[in-house]
A and B are shown apart, each in its own frame.
Chain A
Amino acid sequence: MDSQKNISLFKKIISIFKDTLLVIRHEFKTMFKDRGVVIMFVLAPLAYPILYCSLYMNETLIDVPIASVDYSRSKESRELLRHIDATQNVKIASTYSTLAEAKQAYNDKKVHGVIYIPADFSKKLNTGEQANVSIYCDISSFMYYRIINQACNNSIIDMNSEIQINRLNEVGITGESAKIVSNPIPYEGQILFNEGAGFASFLMPAILMLIIQQTLFLGIGMIAGTSRGENRFHVLVNSNIHRGRTIRVVIGKSICYLLMYGVWSFFILGVVPHAFNLPHIGITLDIIKFMIPYLLAVVFFSMTISVFLPHRETGMVIFLFFSLILLFLSGVSWPPSNINWFWKTFAWIFPSTHGAQGYIKINTMGADISHIRYEYVSLWIQTAVYFITTCWAYRWQIRRSYKKLSNE
């Protein structure tokens, strides 16, 4: 009696196993037969990271051209201009005799900034007064402003400390005490984690995590849309596959996507950051540990939504722009602390929000899993919730397909 029970249980397990394998095989077949899906699942995760990394390869701006207008024409003014020109980020591309001419050059986009030294510059420096220097920065890109301001500021600070010592000497403060007075409380700002303040190092990690989610999402949407569009019953689950229970279809399909994106995660997070010299100080094991719930959450999230897409192109047309929204919701550019509660709650729904934050914290900032508990737990909660919603959604579809079958 007992052994008979055992055998039937064994048979059942085997059959579940077989069914799941059947689903996986079927899914892989449909994936690779479909050119659109191949583009989404193979070409996009391969090409996008490389494309974006190449575009943003230069971490910072080099030799931004600015114009100088030097009314002082003195030894001091020339020294300051030489200082600025010598910086890596800015170069004085042209010299004009009036501000109006410099403005014209700016309007013609020959330069991105103007440095203006008034006529009394050297006189004031020689009489111990404060001298003024003005810069005008292009703000069409935040980068121009930051770089030009920084280069001029640093050059002036250098020059200031020289002049300071001279002036202190003049009033009788010399030697060590002049040094102390000129800088009584030295301050030093250190940049952590993205030491070069690089643009790619800041933005690319979030984009990489988004590429994983968005290609998976759009690919799964395409598969679902196609099954709906092509299946006789306009339903999602091919009728000769759903012999088992819903759960087998869901698990089979998700294993298929996970296998695929396990490989891609290795490429996108393991190879690309090294090849393009993006931050990569994270511990590999921690990244793997973190990627498991991320991929699971993305897969089940995508499978849930995909049920509602009527045609294969619909997902692309409707949801593609959302990648940009997700980039901002992930809180890399606009800091998470300053996102209002409504959008913060909204952002919580999407795996990419936690994925980008967690990945950046591990890989750019060297955090370990215990530091990113919030993101880690959130992703596991999402995995659980979206798994349940996927099962519901699929069961609803399978039932519909049965109904149509029996009606026939």
Chain B
Amino acid sequence: MPNNIFTATVDTLNREMKRMVGRPIYFISTVLTMAFCYVFFFTFFNEGQPNKMPIGIVDLDNSSLSRQFVRNLEATQQAQIVIYPSSHKEAREEMQRGNIYAFVEIKHNFASDAITNRRPAITFYVNDSYLIAGSLLLKDITYMSAATSIGMQRKVLRAKGIDESRIMGIIQPIVLNTHLIGNPWANYGTYLLNVILPGILQLMVILMTIFSIGVELKERTSREWLKTADDSMFAAMTGKLLPYTVIFTALGIICNMLLYKHMHYPLNSSIGWMYLATFVFVIASQAMGILFIGLTPVLRDAVTFGGVFGMLGVTFAGSTFPIEQMPVGTRIFSDFFPIHHYFNIYVNQALNGVAIHNSFVSFLLLLSFIIAPFFVYVRLKKAAINQNFPIK
């Protein structure tokens, strides 16, 4: 009997591979899509952080002091001065056009006020409609303004004859050292690509699982499919889905290699754990795909629901906006997304490099997705035999 199941599986596998060559969609939505995404995201974020973003300076003083400040600003990593508007209004309009993301305003008599202790202010404006650009520029310009202020303080204190050893203690009594755990460069690509690419992988796995099964129901070839599998639903499923398991796991592992080996993104544990996580993640996503086509054995409906679910995956991984800060209940919901557990493994293993037993639960939860198909096992088999669902 096991021998029978084995032959049945192999027969189904052969049948599926023949089908896969017959239609371009199988190639487009597996290899081509993922390859495009790799090329796109790795060339799109190759800078790691947006550098030299355009800003404006409204320098109404135009003194040596203000020009010194502008030069210092020019030297920062993130900002590049592209225009010198003559008024606040003009600068604001440039911002509304999207030509600059920030501007600094230096008032009339800036230098003379500074010398005569009138405390002239530097005001700067950042546009947080572009949140990434805005917050990075806010950090850089604040830093530069603080440096200018400190320089001025030091000058005054020296002039007053304060001992050099005491000066820094006066200027900055407490110094804050910020350490980023696991990702010392605060690389934007790192924290984004580690969730976007698995997110797209999950979406494509779910869609292709639904498509490959659903198209049999739609085109009324499901009886023949079952017959090839010797009427064993288990063999029919295994034989059909095995090629996708192999293809998507391979694509996922290529993704891991690109992230950790090619781009040298943080990897603080063995890459083997990420490979294993990828494999289990693909299987869990396939299980979700089976669940969708089993619940609604109509190709077009299942594709729609699976698509909605897949698109939500990126949100529910919990990287863009932390899940625990979302409305109550969302956290339970997020447990139903394989990518959520995959992301937890990534954070624990690749990013933080903690002991593998901390990820044990996540692996187990990913594996438990295999239960999902059993809920729809009977329904799907009946649908395949009776072909009693509408094709459209």
Q: Which A residues lie at the B interface, using CB under 8 A?
A: 34-36, 39-40, 44, 51-52, 54-58, 61-62, 64, 80, 106-108, 125, 128-146, 149, 152-153, 156, 159-160, 163-164, 167-168, 171, 173, 177, 180-195, 197, 199, 201-203, 205, 222, 226, 230, 279, 312-314, 316-318, 320-321, 323-325, 328, 332-340, 342-343, 357, 360-361, 364-367, 371-372, 374
Contacts and interface: CB of A to CB of B under 8 A. Distances in A.
Contact of B327 (A55, A132, A190): A55
Nearest to A168: B170
B169 interface: yes
B124 A187 contact: yes
A371 B93 contact: yes
Nearest to B123: A188
A146 B176 contact: no
Given A130-B175, A131-B175, A152-B176, 10 more contacts: A56-B326, A134-B178, A139-B180, A143-B325, A194-B127, A312-B300, A324-B314, A335-B130, A371-B97, A372-B97
B299 interface: yes
A320 B123 contact: no
Interface stretch (B11-19, B200-208, B277-285): B200-208
28 contacts: A35-B301, A36-B304, A44-B308, A55-B327, A56-B326, A58-B321, A106-B352, A107-B352, A141-B319, A141-B322, A143-B322, A180-B119, A183-B119, A184-B114, A184-B153, A187-B123, A187-B124, A187-B142, A189-B124, A197-B128, A197-B135, A230-B392, A313-B299, A317-B303, A321-B33, A334-B132, A337-B54, A343-B40
Nearest to A187: B145
Contacts of A321: 33, 37, 200, 203-204
Interface of B: 25, 28-29, 33, 37, 40-41, 43-47, 50-54, 92-93, 95-98, 101, 114, 117, 119-135, 138, 141-142, 145-146, 148-149, 152-153, 156-157, 160, 162, 166, 168-183, 186, 188, 191, 196, 199-200, 203-204, 207-208, 211, 214-215, 299-301, 303-304, 307-308, 310-312, 314-315, 318-322, 325-327, 330, 347-348, 351-352, 354-355, 358, 392
Interface of chain B, main secondary structure: helix
B191 A142 contact: yes
A367 to B, nearest CB: 4
A187 B107 CA distance: 12
B242 to A, nearest CB: 20
Contacts of A143: 321-322, 325
9 A-B pairs with the lowest CB-CB distances in the bound complex, closest first: A187-B145, A194-B128, A367-B96, A202-B131, A335-B133, A163-B173, A338-B50, A184-B152, A139-B183
Contacts of A64: 325
Nearest to B94: A371
B300 A313 contact: yes
Contacts of A125: 173-174
A313 B211 contact: yes
A321 B101 CA distance: 29
Q: Please indicate which of the listed interface residues B175, B182, B304, B330 has the most CB atoms of chain A within 10 Å of its own CB.
A: B304
B168 A130 contact: yes
Contacts of A137: 178-181
A360 B131 CA distance: 12
A136 B25 CA distance: 47
A140 B191 contact: yes
A182 B315 CA distance: 45
A185 B149 contact: yes
Given A193-B129, A197-B131, A334-B132, A141 B177 contact: no
A52 B322 CA distance: 14
Contacts of A314: 25
Given A130-B169, A149-B178, A320-B310, A367 B117 contact: no
Nearest to B97: A371
B97 A194 contact: no
Contacts of B28: 318
A185 B121 contact: yes
Contacts of B320: 141, 199, 203
B325 A61 contact: yes
Contact of A313 (B153, B303, B318): B303
